């Protein structure tokens, strides 16, 4: 798998290999797109680690902006609330001082207990005055943020995959129609295969550089909650056209 992916990445930047890339199965090209996007997400996650480490201090800094932030933290239940009903991950039980076992979160009358790298307990009284108890609140919220990261990763991966697939499809379709009017002709499948590999430059620029900011790529459109960037789209289009032309030149030879 690693050898195959490295080979495909190298070939994506080596035009003489576009002939082989354009004639492979569409399934293989989609596999490459999915794999390179996943690897880019992993790299971006590693680059995001410094921000994740400092998330608690960032939350405290934001809490300091409140002049007053008081909430009522009384909990009352007629019976334990368990979610889901089998093998619960979240339990609210104000009728007893329930201990946490296999659950991730347990809310009792006096405390919130959670399990992350050990068992922890936070008194509910700490949530009555958020500003005065910012250390407690920021610690709890940072735990929630960390627990949400896998879900955020999956959701963003799906959104970005749909975005890149649609961009590859529509750019391939436009180029296929345009070049059908000229002597430079390829099958739609071949154009699509080329685009699935040239989109690599777009994925790397947008995803891997995300921890440092992507304003330099000039966002001009929002789709599914993610930006489409002018610079990376232009580079992708140029690479795709170049690959298209190179394959035709090589074919004529």
One DSSP character per residue, 79-103 reads S-EEESSSS-SEEE-TTS-PPPSS-
Q: Which two tokens stand for residue 17?
A: 């290999």
- Tell whether the model's pLDDT for residue 160 goes beyond 90: yes
Q: Name residues whose C-beta falls within 8 Å of residue 156's C-beta, 6 or more positions apart in sequence.
A: 41, 226
**201 and 214 in contact (C-beta within 8 Å)?**
no
Out of 147, 170, 186, a domain closes at 147
How high is the pLDDT of residue 236? 92
Is 57 part of a structural domain of the chain? no
Question: Within this chain, do residues 134 and 248 fall inside the same structural domain, yes or no?
Answer: no
**For the chain, what is the domain count?**
2
- Tell whether the model's pLDDT for residue 152 goes beyond 70: yes
Question: Within this chain, do residues 110 and 219 fall inside the same structural domain, yes or no?
Answer: no
- Tell whether the model's pLDDT for residue 149 goes beyond 60: yes
Provide the pLDDT confidence category of residue 97 given band limits of 50, 70 and 90.
low
- Tell whether the model's pLDDT for residue 252 goes beyond 50: no
- Sole residue written with tokens 């032309």: 245
Q: What is the DSSP string of 161-201?
A: HHHHHHHHHHHHHHHHHHHHTSS----HHHHHHHHHHHTHH
**34 and 161 in contact (C-beta within 8 Å)?**
yes
Provide the pLDDT confidence category of residue 39 given band limits of 50, 70 and 90.
very high
Provide the pLDDT confidence category of residue 73 given band limits of 50, 70 and 90.
low
Provide the pLDDT confidence category of residue 245 given band limits of 50, 70 and 90.
confident
Mean pLDDT value across residues 46-73? 74
Out of 117, 147, 177, a domain closes at 147
Is 73 part of a structural domain of the chain? yes
Question: Within this chain, do residues 153 and 248 fall inside the same structural domain, yes or no?
Answer: yes
Question: Within this chain, do residues 101 and 173 fall inside the same structural domain, yes or no?
Answer: no
Q: What is the mean pLDDT of the chain?
A: 81
For 185-210, the pLDDT digits (tens) are 788 898 899 999 999 999 999 999 88
Q: Which residue has the higher pLDDT, 54 or 133?
A: 54
Per the structure, the complete domain to which residue 91 belongs is given by: 65-147
User: Which of 5-19, 43-57, 66-80 has the least mean pLDDT?
Assistant: 66-80
Q: Which residue has the higher pLDDT, 40 or 11?
A: 40
């Amino acid at each position: 798998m690693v050898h195959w992916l490295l080979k495909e990445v190298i070939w994506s930047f080596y035009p003489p290999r576009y002939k082989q890339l354009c004639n492979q199965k569409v399934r293989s090209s989609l596999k490459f797109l999915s794999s390179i996007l996943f690897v880019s997400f992993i790299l971006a996650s590693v680059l995001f680690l410094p921000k994740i480490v400092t998330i608690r201090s960032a939350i405290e800094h934001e809490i300091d902006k409140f002049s007053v932030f008081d909430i009522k933290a009384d909990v009352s239940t007629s019976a334990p609330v368990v979610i889901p009903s089998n093998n619960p991950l979240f339990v609210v039980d104000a009728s007893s001082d329930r201990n946490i076992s296999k659950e991730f979160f347990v809310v009792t009358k006096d405390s919130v207990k959670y399990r992350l790298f050990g068992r922890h307990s936070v008194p509910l009284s700490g949530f009555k005055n958020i500003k005065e108890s910012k250390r407690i609140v920021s610690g709890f919220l940072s735990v929630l943020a960390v627990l949400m990261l896998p879900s955020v990763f999956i959701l963003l991966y799906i959104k970005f995959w749909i975005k890149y697939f649609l961009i590859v499809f529509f750019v391939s379709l436009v180029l296929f129609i345009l070049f059908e009017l000229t002597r430079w002709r390829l099958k739609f499948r071949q154009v699509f295969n080329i685009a699935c590999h040239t989109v690599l430059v777009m994925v790397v620029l947008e995803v891997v550089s995300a921890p440092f900011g992507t304003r330099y790529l000039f966002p001009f459109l929002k789709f599914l909650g993610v930006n489409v960037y002018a610079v990376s789209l232009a580079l992708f289009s140029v690479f795709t056209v170049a690959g298209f032309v190179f394959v035709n030149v090589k074919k004529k030879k």
